[in-house]
Chains A and B, each alone.
Chain A
Amino acid sequence: MALFGKTRESRAPVRTIEAGGLSDGTLTLTLAQIDPLAVNVVKVDDSRSLAIVVMPDGAYSAFNLQCPHLGANLADGAFCTKDGTLRCPWHGYEFELGEGRFIRNPNVETLAKARVKGANFDPDKAIDYRLRLYPATANGGQLVVELN
């Protein structure tokens, strides 16, 4: 995953964490396992991976790695440590990671001439994609992520 924002072109490390502490739909990690300057990818099981990042205010955000737009692997995207946003690697759609809200489609300006209303496309129709977030709470040197 790449960083963007102030350090747009630099590559942020993607760290993989072993999901050792999984029980009853709760994932427990030590805070020492989490790199605050990296995207920490946790493979929960064969079909599910999540990422944990540290937000600008120090809170933790845990989210599903599948883009809600067309399914890209968000681990290949760009995470901005400055404002806690993520850019999808396929279409550039941007999401904020506090609530998982879609915030911007950067193609709107460059493709404006072709984005004309038709029977099957409405450029004014709001996009309502949302990342799947998992509640993550830091407590006593541990981070508890609720997966269900």
Chain B
Amino acid sequence: MRYEFSLVYDLDTTVAAAVAAYLDAEHYCYLHSKYSPAYEVIEHEDCKMLVRQTWVLGPWRVGQTYTTVYEPPARFIAFDINPSPRWLPSIHHLMKVRTDLRYYPNGSGDKTVSHLDVVIEIPFWLWPLRKLVRRRIEQLKVEKDAEDIEMIDRRAAIFGRGNIKAYLPEHQFLFHKDHFVKHFGEA
């Protein structure tokens, strides 16, 4: 059965700064260590990647893999989530989740709309749990955004609102950086 929902709210920053924070993968394991203590790129082909996130659970290291696709300038799709190792008991054996996140300027152009569409394919006997899954996904999104906004706000206070120059030097890594610079390099 198919369950869809959206989560839409404003982020108090520019689209360029929001996209830069998203593509700045080096902060995932540190600023977001509570959610992604280990994050590894397994396969990479242009704007498509297979990544693995892992957590230490007692003596075991467990996690999940998923595919992400970046559609420049500001769209991020994630799907095909599987437990890692594959035999690990997981809800991802039972349901499929696809997330589609877009950033775009709000009506007045001073903030960024974070627009997340989620599609869940779920067996009928898990249908009663769909809202629980939804709440968990929404909670994760809001909490991670709050951490990112704290970083963005601090940077804005130091370097100026929307200033992304620190991401542009050749030594600074961003996912899909050439696409980012093409679209936001002059921002």
Contacts and interface: CB of A to CB of B under 8 A. Distances in A.
Contact of A110 (B24, B29, B170, B181): B29
B131 interface: no
B151 A90 contact: yes
B159 A120 contact: no
Interface string A101-118: 000011100111111101
B142 interface: no
Contacts of A111: 25-26, 39-41, 173
Contacts of B171: 121-122, 125-127
B26 A73 contact: no
Given A111-B173, A121-B172, A122-B171, A90 B30 contact: yes
B61 interface: no
Contacts of B49: 113-114
Interface stretch (A21-29, A51-59, A64-72, A133-141): A64-72
Interface string B14-55: 000000000011110111000000111111100001000000
A90 B42 CA distance: 23
Contacts of B130: none
Contact of B25 (A66, A71, A114, A120): A114
Contacts of A106: 29
Contacts of A119: 178, 181
A122 B177 CA distance: 11
B41 A73 contact: no
B174 interface: yes
Contacts, number: 86
Contacts of B174: 121
A127 B26 CA distance: 14
Contacts of B175: 114
Interface residues of A, number: 31
Contacts of A87: 30
Given A113-B49, A121-B171, 15 more contacts: A70-B166, A72-B151, A90-B30, A92-B30, A107-B29, A110-B39, A110-B41, A111-B39, A113-B41, A114-B41, A120-B170, A121-B178, A125-B169, A125-B171, A127-B171
A89 interface: yes
A-B pairs, 10 with minimum CB distance: A125-B171, A113-B41, A107-B26, A92-B30, A113-B44, A120-B181, A114-B41, A91-B26, A118-B178, A122-B170
A107 B25 contact: yes
Given A71-B159, A90-B151, A110-B39, A118 B27 contact: no
Contact of B155 (A70, A89, A118, A123): A70
Contact of B41 (A70, A88, A112): A112
A105 B26 contact: yes
A90 B148 CA distance: 10
